[in-house]
Structure 1
Amino acid sequence: MTKSWHRPSLWVAVAMAVLTLIPLAGLVFDDRVLNGEPLWLKPFKFGLSLTIYAATLSWMLSLPHKGKRWTSGLATFITVILFADVALVGIQAARGTFSHFNSVKGDPVNQVVQFMFGTSIPLMFLANIVLAIFLSVQKLGDRPTTWAIRSGLYLAILGMASGYLMVFQGKSKRSVVTDATGHDIKLHGGHAVGVPDGGPGMPVTTWSTTGGDLRIPHFFGMHGLQVLILLGLGLAALGLAERTRLRLVVVAALGYAGVFGALTWQALRGEPLVHPGPTTLASLLAVLAAVVLGVAWAFRKTGTAAPAPVRQPVPQR
């Protein structure tokens, strides 16, 4: 029931959902373009993604566990930062300029935005790690649900960590681009590998179709939490035995981590998602084969104990 959900993160999720209506309207009424994509597309994607993440934390903390004061404080801290980040991305879009990797120093607003990103994101990342560790030593419902949440949290942390790969390109990936207002902006870092940011991309996501794109593993990893939780709930709805559900959750988590690793490796090699090479295909097929074997193992019968002998009634004389 929503009444038992973690209230602060739920309200932040609602606020971000409302805030996401602004870039949605911008996509409809503002046809400006920023580095090859609609100006308001990035704040819309950020708002939608982080709204889902905040709502997931709210539901997760509704499960019985110890130390709710600590987990509540961590979740509130995390989601407030998420809300601030969505707002900052929206502010920069309204100004027609870049929110990330923007090194312009003559603009006081941009300086504040970059300082906020530089301080809040690492703190939010650390808070997620602490929350994951705290919940890893607790039971959150039955074993399949507990392991779905644990593995999902660590997959999300891997996804967040992969975002730093974009920052680490700072020295090797410096470029001067024009923002939506016609000003030249120096960018330090970026998401594309092997090609400039803003080139040909996939519909909606705008992930590069000509080179590697670090946004792919970043997105895939971060939302592993939702995928694993939904899987656990879906398996429970099917009425499968607890042991089978637990095994399937573990197999899914390991398979998800394998795909995340393959996507990260593919992006770092400058290879587009839609044109995988033999090495990438081989790695993905290996993960698929391991998952198929894992599913077969999950449904394997482990034997049942012999039924207890039925005691016959002693005839009365």
Structure 2
Amino acid sequence: MMLEGFIGFIKELKVRNDALFYFGLFCLLLSVICIVLTKTTATQIHGVNAWFKPFKFAVSLGLYSCTMAWYCHYLSDFNTTPFNWTVIVLFGLELLYIIFQASKGQLSHYNISTPTYSLLYSLMGLVAAVVTLYTAYIGLLFFTQSFPKLPSYYVWSIRLGILIFVVFSFEGGLMGSRMNHSVGAINDNSNMWLIGWSKTVGDLRVSHFIGMHALQLLPLLSFYIFKNTKATIVVSIIYGLLAVSTLVQALNGKPLITEKKIEELK
């Protein structure tokens, strides 16, 4: 039954927006190649395999594309074509640049070592801002349009998921302005599973990750588990506060979880 449901979801996603469906699929296939390369190459950047960054970005962009393909279908009088091409062209170029830099064992983010790299890094920031603003506009449409055929709790989960996504997408600008995702060290990483968050100092990527994936998590929880508008709103507020608390924790130079705690969990 689960397999049939998943296949049905994939077919429906393709019908809703085939352009973003195929781009999302392309990103997810690239993520598989990147994770294989983490096991077959030894090139490192800041103490972690160079291919972990493109892997994480490919997964994130793939999920974003498929998620927005699903949500935009609900909007009336919304022209998906400009949005599709904005996402595909801008995120596609960004991902290819990240992969290219990883293949050379060089930084893509925070790299201003040459005028060219500095320009490309600035353009990546512009890409993120443009897509985030476009997503914010879509979120505004969800707040201003009515959806009589959809459960109220589901609509609210999409609204609040997009809102939290936008806020913590822009939180990425904090890392860009600091040229550093760590607080208390210089771009510290660890071998913490696939995510690589620091176990010794504050890591601004934690809140960035939690906040941005409200886009997927809140609607899934609301639609399949809570099925209630009040519960959806309360859980969304708690989730947003969780993202804020991890941001405050990182700014205070404290890691999400220390090496000692990880050992205790083992």
- Scaled to the shorter chain, the TM-score interval is 0.7 to 0.9
Structure number with the higher helix fraction is 2
Distance between the aligned counterparts of 1:114 and 1:195, measured in 2? 21
- Judged with a 3 Å threshold, the aligned counterparts in structure 2 of structure 1 residues 202 and 190 are, in CA distance, closer, same or farther, namely same
CA distance in 1, matches of 2:170, 2:94: 16
Find the counterpart in structure 1 of residue 90 from structure 2. 81
2:123 is the alignment partner of 1:133: no
CA 1:111 to 1:266, structure 2 compared with 1: closer, same or farther past 3 Å? closer
Identity percentage of aligned residues: 25
What code does the residue aligned with 1:257 have?
G
Of 209, 213, 231 in structure 1, the residue corresponding to residue 221 of structure 2 is: 231
Which of these residues, 144, 158, 163, is aligned with residue 154 of structure 1? 163
Counterpart CA distance in 1 for 2:119 and 2:32 is: 24
Q: Residue 248 of structure 2 aligns with which residue?
A: 265
Q: 1:139 corresponds to which letter in structure 2?
A: S
Aligned to 2:124: 117
Candidates 67, 89, 99, aligned match of 2:77: 67
Q: Which amino acid aligns with 1:52?
A: L
Q: Is 1:37 aligned to 2:27, yes or no?
A: no
Conserved in 2, the CA contact under 8 Å of 1:78 and 1:128?
Answer: no
Distance 1:117 1:268 in 2: 24
Cα offsets for 1:249-306 (capped at 9, x unmatched): 111111111111111111111111015xxxxxxxxxxxxxxxxxxxxxxxxxxxxxxx
Structure 1 position 52 matched with structure 2 position 52: no
Is the 1:34–1:96 Cα contact (8 Å) retained in structure 2? Answer: yes
RMSD: 1.9
Are residues 1:253 and 2:236 paired? Answer: yes
Distance 1:203 1:138, change over 3 A: same
Asked whether the 8 Å contact 1:12–1:80 carries over to 2, the reply is no
Rounded to whole Å, the distance in 1 between the matches of 2:237 and 2:182 is 27
Paired with 2:118 and 2:185, the residues of 1 have a C-alpha distance of: 27
**Larger deviation, residues 159-168 vs 14-23:** 14-23
Unaligned 5+ segments in structure 2 are 1-11, 259-266
- Rg larger in structure: 1
Write the distance in 1 (CA, Å) between the matches of 2:129 and 2:13: 30
Partner of 2:199, secondary structure, is coil
| Distance in 1 (alpha carbons) for counterparts of 2:177 and 2:13 | 40
Summarize the alignment of residues 19-38 of structure 1 with structure 2, pairs less than 5 Å apart: 19-38=30-49
The aligned counterpart of 1:211 is 201
- Specify the alignment match of 1:182 in structure 2: none
Equivalent-residue separation in structure 1 for 2:62 and 2:138 (angstroms):
18
* Alignment partners' CA distance in 2, 1:88 and 1:216: 23
| Deviation at residue 75 of structure 1 after TM alignment | 4.4
Q: Pairwise mapping of residues 165-314 of structure 1 onto structure 2 (< 5 A)?
A: 165-169=174-178, 189-200=179-190, 202-235=192-225, 245-275=228-258
Between the aligned partners of 1:196 and 1:56, the Cα distance in structure 2 is 33
Name the aligned partner's letter for residue 15 of structure 1.
F
What residue number does 1:295 align with? Answer: none
Q: Does the Cα contact within 8 Å between 1:50 and 1:82 map onto a contact in 2?
A: yes
For structure 1, the 5+ residue unaligned runs are 170-188, 276-317
Kindly tell me: are residues 58 and 199 of structure 1, through their superposed partners in 2, closer, same or farther at Cα, counting changes over 3 Å? closer
TM-score (norm 1): 0.72
Say whether the 8 Å CA contact 1:139–1:146 is kept in structure 2. no
Across the two proteins, how many residue pairs are aligned to each other?
245
Aligned partner of residue 68 in structure 1, secondary structure: coil
The residue type paired with residue 83 of structure 2 is: L
- The TM-score, its normalising length taken from structure 2, stands at 0.85
What does the per-residue CA deviation read over 1:20-41, in whole Å, with 9 as the maximum and x for residues that have no partner? 2331231121111111001101
- Change in 2 beyond 3 A, CA 1:56/1:18: same
